[in-house]
Amino acid sequence: MSAHGVDLGHPVVVTAARPGSAMARINRAMALLNKTIVVVCSIALIVASVILSYSVAARYFFNAATYWQDEAAVFLLVAATFLSTAFVQAGRGHIGIEALTGYLSKRGNAIRILVVDATSLLFCCFFSWKSWTLFHEAWVDGQVSGSTWAPPLWIPYSMMALGMTLLTLQIALQLAAAIDGWRSK
C-alpha cells in the first residue's frame, strides 16, 4: 500500500524528512497540492465524460452537430493526465520495470531507485522546459487549434507544462529525501 492507500504492487521507498525542517514543510505542501489537484482532475474527467455523453445524445436524438465537444474533452483529459502525474509519482505509482528488484540486495535496490530517480529528474526537467517553450510560443503567436471552434493552444500546453513541472518537483523532492536519508546513515 502506498501512502495514499493505493496498492501499487511493489514496495514504496519512503524517506521522511526531519520533522519541522524546511524539507518536511515542502513535502507537506506538495502532498496537499497533489491531493487538491487530484480532486480537480477527477472533476475534469467527469466533466469530459458528460460532454462526450451529451455530444452522443445530441447527435443521436436531435441530429444536432456539436463541433466543440471533442476538443473540450481532449483539453480536459490532457489537463487531468498531466496535472495528476506528481500525485502518482508521490506514491511511486508510475509504471516501473521491477525485474531486478528480486535479484538485488536492499542496498542495491536503493541505488537502483536513486539512479532511476536521477535519470527521471533529468528527463522531466527537459520535458518541462520544452513544454513551457510550447506554451510560450502558443501564447505569443496566438496559436489556435485547426477546428471550427479554434480554442487557443496555450490552454493544453499550459496544463502539460504545469503538470510536468510539478512532476519534476515531486521527483526532486523524493531524490533529495533519498540523498538525505543516505547521508544520515
- Measure the CA–CA gap between 162 and 82, rounded to whole angstroms: 8
**Please, which pLDDT band fits residue 94 given cuts at 50, 70 and 90?**
confident
More confident call, 94 vs 107: 107
In this predicted structure, which of 12-26, 118-132, 161-175 has the lowest mean pLDDT? 12-26
The shares of helix, strand and coil residues in the chain, as percent rounded to the nearest 5, are 70, 0, 30
Residue 37 confidence (pLDDT) above 90: yes
In this predicted structure, which of 36-45, 108-117, 147-156 has the lowest mean pLDDT? 108-117
- What's residue 185's pLDDT? 63
Q: Which residues contact 182 (CB under 8 A, 6 or more apart)?
A: 110, 114
- What's residue 8's pLDDT? 37
Read off the pLDDT of each residue in 150-176 and give the average, rounded to a whole number: 96
- Phi/psi-derived region of residue 150, left when phi > 0, alpha when psi is between -120 and 50, beta in every other case: left
Q: What angle do CA 128, 171, 29 make, to 5 degrees?
A: 100
**Please, which pLDDT band fits residue 121 given cuts at 50, 70 and 90?**
very high
More confident call, 50 vs 11: 50
